[in-house]
Amino acid sequence: MNHHRYGDLDKVWAKTHGRCHLCHLEVDLATYGLADIFGADAATVDHLVPQSHGGDDHHDNLLPAHLGCNASRGTQPVAVTRFRMAGALDAPMSTDGRIGAGVAIMGLGALLGGALTAERDETGRKQFNTTGACVGGGIGLLLAVAALS
């Protein structure tokens, strides 16, 4: 969907995986500009740095938001509004961000699993436990899936 002012809104929507960057719930791009029908649930583009604070219409400064959330934020710092609405400081993650976070959690799980279950060999040195690493990675995977779904 192209917008005369903001350009390709699909790209803006892709940044948060189609979620409102303030309340983290889904916001349907098809409702953009239809506030008279959808009211507070209508899609809007929110400026990360408010226009009144010099924020521009560049892609980096734009994120999807519900009309109601956008209005409720006003010119508050984003983190304040997000924390109030979604209990989070960050915008919802894009698909890439979610995959990256999942891989990071798995890696951390494997590292922890290997280190925590490390056993000393006959020379007294600690051996990284590969089985423990696999178990840790598996637990990390489960955590990642639980956290990101």
Positions in the binding site for Zn ion (CB under 5 A): 20, 22-23, 66, 69
CA quadruple 80, 85, 88, 90: dihedral sign: negative
CB of 96 to Zn ion, least distance (A): 22
Contact 126, 137 (CB under 8 A): no
For Zn ion, the closer CB: 18 or 136: 18
For Zn ion, the closer CB: 12 or 23: 23
- Residue 2's DSSP bridge partners are 8
CB of 40 to Zn ion, least distance (A): 9
- Of 7, 13, 5, 15, give the one whose Cα is nearest residue 96: 15
For Zn ion, the closer CB: 71 or 116: 71
- Please give the residue whose beta carbon sits closest to Zn ion in the complex: 20
CB of 43 to Zn ion, least distance (A): 9
For Zn ion, the closer CB: 41 or 137: 41
CB of 85 to Zn ion, least distance (A): 7
DSSP 59-100: GGGEEEEEHHHHHHHTTS-HHHHHHHHHS-SSPPPPHHHHHH
